A and B are shown apart, each in its own frame.
Chain A
């Protein structure tokens, strides 16, 4: 069963606007971590933000914030004030404490329009 779902294969956003990238996950482990990564066309995977399942507050890192809704098993990434350099693939990922591995979703391609 697919553990990470990203239902938006491609997204467009106007420069300076905010955009939300969706991610839902499936786990029975009460302790887990959720990650978002950015992969530009150069191929390097860039860590953006982390949310632990027991964290009380939503994670934020600069223009990135994670909208964590535990009951819905959702961990959406919000990018505020989009920039042209934000155009890239974005991957949601999860690690369960029961398993020493990180599972990635299929990704969302974001294009920022001038």
Chain B
């Protein structure tokens, strides 16, 4: 079975631009979560979506938004990019949204560089 896939792998953007990152979960998984990992730190939770509804949101500004599609794939959008948005963006999928179905499997990530 295919794992979690993310696209693109790498991305370079300029300050003020907008970016869209994509994620496809493992087949059968209905929940997708997004994380930002700055170099040298642990991942920081951004969003969780389950059955196309937002189930959780981390402490990120409104410039960050996401959605989940009927096929459970997801997009993360970031507007008005700042230098500090440079990070590895990780997508994780799980069967459900609550324990114990919340064992998450991560994709390879999208490396975003903002110049």
Contacts and interface: CB of A to CB of B under 8 A. Distances in A.
Interface residues of A, number: 27
Interface in B35-68: 35, 41-45, 48, 50, 55-58
B108 A44 contact: yes
Contacts of A106: 41-42
Interface string B18-37: 00000000000000010100
B48 A91 contact: no
B44 A104 contact: yes
A101 interface: yes
Contacts of A91: 42-43
Contact of A107 (B42, B44, B111): B42
Contacts of B70: none
B106 A44 contact: yes
A112 B99 CA distance: 33
A95 B108 contact: no
B100 interface: yes
A45 B90 CA distance: 8
B42 A95 contact: no
Given A104-B42, A106-B42, A107-B42, A43 B88 contact: yes
Interface residues of B, number: 29
Given A95-B99, A101-B56, A106-B42, A35 B48 contact: no
Nearest to A42: B108
A79 to B, nearest CB: 19
B86 to A, nearest CB: 14
B108 A99 contact: no
Interface string A83-98: 0000000010101010
Interface of A: 4, 31-33, 35, 37, 42-47, 50, 52, 91, 93, 95, 97, 99-107
Interface of B: 33, 35, 41-45, 48, 50, 55-58, 88, 90, 92, 97-100, 102-109, 111
7 contacts: A42-B108, A97-B99, A100-B55, A100-B97, A102-B92, A103-B45, A104-B42
